[in-house]
Chain A
Amino acid sequence: MASMIIETAGLTKSYGEIRALKPLDLTVPEGEWLSVMGHSGSGKSTLLNLVGGLDRPTAGMLKVGGEDLLGRDEDGLARFRREFVGIIFQQHHLIPYLNALENVMLAQYFHSVPDEAEARSALERVGLGHRLKNRPGELSGGEQQRVCIARAIINSPRLLLGDEPTGNLDHGSTTMVLELLRELRVEERFTIIMVTHNQEVAAWGDRTIYLDDGVLVREEKKLVEG
Chain B
Amino acid sequence: MLFRILKNSFLKRPRSIFLVFLSITMGAAVATSFLGIAGEISHKMSLELRSYGANILLEPSAVEGGGFLREVDLPKIKTVFWKYNITGFTPYLFGLVDLTAGTKHERAVITGSWFYKQLLVEGEEPSFQGIQVIAPWWELQGGMPQDADEAVVGASLARRLGVVLGSRVVALARGATKPFRVVGIVTTGGYEEEQFFAPLVTVQSLLGKMGKLSRVLVSAVTVPMDAFGKKDPAAMSKEEYEKWYCTAYVTSVAKNVEEVMAGSRAKPIWQIASAEGALLTKLNSVVLLLTLLALGASAIAVSTSLMASMAERSPEIALMKAIGADRLQISAIFLGETLIISLAGGIVGYLLGDQLAALISQSVFNSAIKSPLWLLPTAMVSAFAVALAGSAAPLRRAFLIEPVKVLKG
How far does the alpha carbon of A97 sit from the alpha carbon of B323 in the complex, in Å?
A: 17
B323 interface neighbour in A55, A82, A90, Cβ under 8 Å? A82
Bound: A95/B12 CA distance, A: 11
* Extra inter-chain contacts (12) besides given A82-B324, A83-B324, A110-B329, CB under 8 Å: A74-B327, A81-B323, A91-B409, A93-B322, A94-B319, A95-B319, A96-B12, A97-B9, A105-B1, A106-B320, A107-B324, A111-B324
Q: Is A102 an interface residue (CB 8 A)?
A: yes
Once the chains bind, are A110 and B325 in contact (CB under 8 Å)? yes
With CB as the reference atom, state the residue of chain B lying closest to A46.
B404
Residues in A whose Cβ lies below 8 Å from that of B404: 49, 54-55
Chain B residues with Cβ below 8 Å from A114 are 1
By the criterion CB–CB under 8 Å, are A81 and B2 in contact?
no
User: Nearest chain B CB to A184's CB is how many angstroms away?
Assistant: 17
Given A93-B319, A102-B8; A110-B403 close (CB under 8 Å): no
Q: Which residues of B, 390-409, contact A by the 8 Å Cβ criterion?
A: 402-404, 407-409
Whether B326 pairs with A75 at a CB distance below 8 angstroms is yes
Most buried by B among A95, A102, A105, A114: A95
A87 CA to B323 CA in the complex, in Å? 7
Q: A55-B404, A79-B326, A90-B409 are in contact. Are A110 and B8 (CB under 8 A)?
A: no
Contact between chains at B11 and A97 (CB < 8 Å):
yes
Q: Which residues of B contact A (CB under 8 A)?
A: 1-2, 4-5, 8-9, 11-13, 315-316, 319-329, 402-404, 407-409
Collect the chain B residues with CB atoms within 8 Å of residue A109's CB. 1-2, 5, 329
- Known A-B contacts A49-B404, A93-B319; A81 and B327 likewise in contact (beta carbons under 8 Å): no
Complex Cα gap A78–B401 (Å): 13
Residue numbers in A under 8 Å from B403 (CB-CB): 54
Cβ-defined contact, A93 with B315, below 8 A: yes
Neighbouring A residues of B12 by C-beta, 8 Å = 96-97
Is A98 at the interface (CB under 8 A from chain B)? Answer: yes
Bound together, the chains give a CA A78 to CA B11 distance in angstroms of: 28
Whether A78 contacts B326 by the Cβ 8 Å rule is yes
Contacts of A97 on B, CB cut-off 8 Å?
8-9, 11-13
Q: Distance in Å from the Cβ of A33 to the closest Cβ of chain B?
A: 22
The reply to whether the CB of A44 lies closer than 8 angstroms to some CB of chain B is no
Q: Is A89 an interface residue (CB 8 A)?
A: yes
Q: Let me know if B407 and A106 touch, CB within 8 A.
A: no
A158 in contact (CB, < 8 A): no
Write the chain B residue with the least CB distance to A82: B324
B324 touches A102 (CB 8 A): no
Q: Mark A54-80, 1 if CB is under 8 A from B, else 0.
A: 110000000000000000001100110
Q: Once the chains are docked, how many angstroms separate the CA of A49 from the CA of B319?
A: 13
Can you identify 27 A-B contacts, CB atoms within 8 angstroms?
A: A45-B408, A49-B404, A54-B322, A54-B403, A74-B326, A78-B324, A78-B326, A78-B327, A79-B324, A89-B322, A89-B407, A93-B322, A93-B407, A97-B8, A97-B9, A98-B8, A102-B5, A102-B8, A106-B1, A106-B5, A106-B320, A107-B323, A109-B2, A109-B329, A110-B323, A110-B325, A151-B323
Q: Within A104-145, which residues are at the interface with B (CB < 8 Å)?
A: 105-111, 113-114
In Å, the complex CA distance between A137 and B1 comes to 21
